[in-house]
Chains A and B, each alone.
Chain A
């Protein structure tokens, strides 16, 4: 009998010039219906100018336990931020 429709993740571009942002998910039988459903569920008040949908099962995610190995190394590289360097006041804006 009936099987559950697959789950889709929905991404919306809020305005021209912005990135698509993840807004949530929904069930739909295929990509076409996922877009139509996303229009009704996530953009009832002009929240978007473009929609992406992707099967949730096609998303590959980093594991929460990999947080340390993946992101800790960046902590040691503070020189990547401009504030690491002192610019003398006399130099003015840089």
Chain B
């Protein structure tokens, strides 16, 4: 997902009667569906895990602008260009909502940027793949934003107030993202044979990386169990992946496209699709920095941050000069 394989410090999930009173009261509030707010007491591991999860999520939104930004100047029509610009601007907004939510847990914005730019912090594996044709912009909206929605909708109910509220804002904007992508695919699929082939090629390349977004199976993971106990994760990776496949396969059929998985078949007994296993070796390589675009993405982020430094400093200098002037005028008037 946008935050993949978030680690906790947990060795195992402890029961209520193994907890000290303060932690037990905290867990009981979560079990009762209450929200935890910034200044309230929380276990150190809850705080740290949330910082990891929310900042990873924020970094993904920010880095996620890069593959799509690649096509803004080459969109096929002025309308498509305006739509894509609006979509990418939304992703910047998502990153900002999330960074602010993370900051309420006691990490600064600069610290998070530093973690991203130094390569210490992770972001979603999906954004390390290249956007080779216009059809990729369709595939990203349809599949990648579609996958993101699957996991962001339940997060609106998560236990940490600022994160849950950021998710509400984000979810309101995401369905526009998915629809504009599906619309691009629809138009291509109704177009010339070459356009349809472009759409198929994009699906072929984005299908498996999209399934990998949900992360490897975590049914046996203590981190996942702990995050679920804290209600900062609601569904297992396999559950979400299944939901995604079941939702997406009929859409591909509507487009007249073939999902590139020979193992894909409807399973009447389970009321869902059977499907093949993504290449997890590839996934771990991408996570470790060896994906097709990891270097390029980080380079672009560092460059944007570095190139903007004089501008940020200039605005800061202007702000303090104005403040000093106001102060002097006030003193003179007294």
Contacts and interface: CB of A to CB of B under 8 A. Distances in A.
Contacts of A44: 86, 89-90, 93
B39 interface: yes
Interface SS, B side: helix
Contacts of A45: 173
Contact of B316 (A5, A24, A41): A5
A33 interface: yes
Interface residues of A, number: 21
B37 interface: yes
Contact of A41 (B93, B109, B313): B93
B109 A29 contact: no
Given A4-B109, A4-B110, A63-B39, A33 B315 contact: yes
B190 interface: no
Contacts of A1: 309, 313
Contact of A25 (B100, B108, B169): B100
A4 B315 contact: no
Nearest to B312: A2
Contacts of A2: 309, 312-313, 316
A25 to B, nearest CB: 5
Interface string B312-326: 110110110011000
Contact of B96 (A30, A33, A41): A41
Contacts of B86: 44
Interface size class of B (residues with CB under 8 A): 20 to 34
Nearest to B39: A64
A27 B90 contact: no
With most chain A CB atoms within 10 A of its CB, the pick from B39, B100, B108, B322 is: B100
A5 to B, nearest CB: 7
Contacts of B309: 1-2
A7 B96 contact: no
A61 interface: yes
A64 B39 CA distance: 7
A54 interface: no
Contacts of B110: 4
A29 B319 contact: yes
A61 B103 CA distance: 17
A2 B93 CA distance: 23
Contacts of B316: 2-3, 5, 29
A24 B100 contact: yes
B329 to A, nearest CB: 16
B166 interface: yes
Contact of A7 (B40, B103, B173, B322): B103
Contact of A24 (B89, B109, B166, B312): B166
Nearest to A6: B319
B319 A61 contact: no
B97 interface: yes
Interface string A63-74: 110000000000
A64 B40 CA distance: 6
Interface in B100-141: 100, 103, 108-110
A24 B97 CA distance: 7
13 contacts: A2-B309, A3-B316, A5-B316, A7-B100, A24-B169, A30-B315, A30-B318, A30-B323, A33-B319, A40-B89, A44-B89, A45-B173, A61-B39
Given A1-B309, A29-B315, 13 more contacts: A2-B316, A4-B110, A5-B312, A7-B103, A24-B166, A24-B169, A26-B100, A29-B316, A29-B318, A41-B93, A45-B173, A64-B39, A64-B41
Interface of A: 1-5, 7, 23-27, 29-30, 33, 40-41, 44-45, 61, 63-64
